[in-house]
Amino acid sequence: MMTQAFYTGLSGLMSQQTAIDIEADNIANISTIGFRGSNAEFASLFERTVVSTMDHSSVGIGSRVQTSSINMQNGAIQLTDRNTDLAISDEGWFGIKDGDNRLFTRAGNFMFDSNSDLVNSDGMYVLGTMANNIEGNVLKKEVLQTQLGDISQQQTLRFPKSLSYPPVSTTHTSFLGNLGVDDETRVFGAVAIDPQNNKNNLKLHFTKSAKQPQEGVQWDIVATTQSLNGETIYDTQKGSAIFNEEGALVSYSIADIDNNGSKIAIDLGDGYNGIVSMNIPYSAGSSQSDGTIGGELVGYEINRNAEVIATFTNGMQSSVGKIALYHFNNEQGLDKISSSTYQESSNSGRAQFYKDSNGNNILGSSVMNFQLETSNVTMSSSLTQLIILQRSYDSNSKVVSTADQMMQKALNMDA
């Protein structure tokens, strides 16, 4: 029995020391972004059942730390001043790549490095889906939202340092305004983008026709496209417009006009929607054109849908990639690699994506930018637990000391 007391106390000292080390690690990482604390779980080495007339009980002969479980409670949210700082509102893990290893983390303190790769604070590459709308250094297509690809196809998010938004030529221009009824020349204008990324003028000159219809009024139209300084005229087209007695547009005819290499369809509207010729004061009118002037990259940002957004000098934006969120059947089974990184194991199961009702891969949780998830360890609870473990360690030390005294008395009795 005295020997058993030695082993019981010794196993207690060892298990309590392990638990103290775990709690000390929790306290040491109380300021670590994305850190999740661990709890020591104890188990008996052996138990012997004791049966008496009054009760059935068991006597243990030692303990050990069976495992250290991860505390899955989310940490507090901390506001930051960087849109590349991300926090996950619910469950889920960011994927990062360290060499050939795929790891997982809750720490979203990301940044773009000197090569415009999205990395974490340790320089590991963040995994996600590229929008595949960049060819060389040119954005080929504007994408509102990138669809998350297959889990096996997630890759490092790498973007060019310089990126151009190509010009989109104007193909359609609509006009709105009142010509009035006076026999005076009226001019309406619009800005038109050509394939060379130039802003040009599209002008319509309205003059009353020499021959008028029996009812209503007819105007002759001369359309021109020219450079902003007026030095170069690209094309001239002529047509006419007929209005009824109330001034509503009945019909018009004018061919598409060339704009330094692209054709523009001229839209005068219909009825009272567009150009009218009414006996009310003349208005300067307005116009609306499609097309976009080209622009150069201002920078990359990350929005609340985990989309990597490219912003350009022309005010346009496009998604160029999407950060992935991974999920596990058993998060407790993840293997801890460092203070805030984990690796999948046979206990956690394979990483997976959530899907919507149409079978498309989705994040499964909201991602908040300008925010970081702090450690889920609180100083008050950890210090309390550390005091309890220290007292348990002292108690086991007392067991060893008492067993030693009993052994010395037994040896003295034999003497």
Query: pTM for the complete prediction?
Result: 0.75
Q: What pLDDT was estimated at residue 25?
A: 79
125 or 43, which is more confident: 125
* pLDDT-derived band at 10, boundaries 50, 70, 90: low
- What does the pLDDT average to over 310-331? 95
The strand pair at 172-178 and 263-267 is best described as parallel
Contact 243, 276 (CB under 8 A): yes
What are the start and end residues of each CATH 2.60.98.20 domain in the chain?
172-289
What are 390-406's pLDDT values in tens digits?
777 667 677 667 766 77
- What does the pLDDT average to over 301-315? 93
CA atoms within 13 A of residue 292's CA, in its CB half-sphere = 16
- What does the pLDDT average to over 120-142? 95
Asked if residue 35 has pLDDT above 70, the reply is yes
Name, in order, each residue with C-beta under 8 angstroms of 405's C-beta and a sequence gap of 6 or more. none
Asked if residue 48 has pLDDT above 80, the reply is no
Asked if residue 157 has pLDDT above 90, the reply is yes
Q: What pLDDT was estimated at residue 252?
A: 97
Q: What pLDDT was estimated at residue 383?
A: 76
Q: Tell which phi-psi region holds residue 109, choosing left (phi > 0), alpha (psi between -120 and 50) or beta.
A: beta
**What whole-number distance in Å separates Cα of residue 386 and Cα of residue 335?**
24
- What does the pLDDT average to over 350-372? 94
Percent of the chain at pLDDT exceeding 70: 86
**What whole-number distance in Å separates Cα of residue 238 and Cα of residue 236?**
7
What are 221-249's pLDDT values in tens digits?
999 999 999 999 999 999 999 999 999 99
Looking at domain 172-289, its CATH superfamily turns out to be: Flagellar hook protein FlgE (2.60.98.20)
**What whole-number distance in Å separates Cα of residue 303 and Cα of residue 183?**
56
Burial of 400 (0-12, 13-18, 19+ CB in 10 A): middle
Give CA separation, 252 vs 240, 242, 262, 308, in Å. Answer: 6, 6, 22, 47
Give CA separation, 78 vs 369, 371, 379, in Å. Answer: 11, 5, 17
Asked if residue 415 has pLDDT above 80, the reply is no
Asked if residue 282 has pLDDT above 90, the reply is no
Enter the tokens of residue 344.
Answer: 């999948």
Q: What pLDDT was estimated at residue 18?
A: 75
Mean pLDDT for the chain? 87
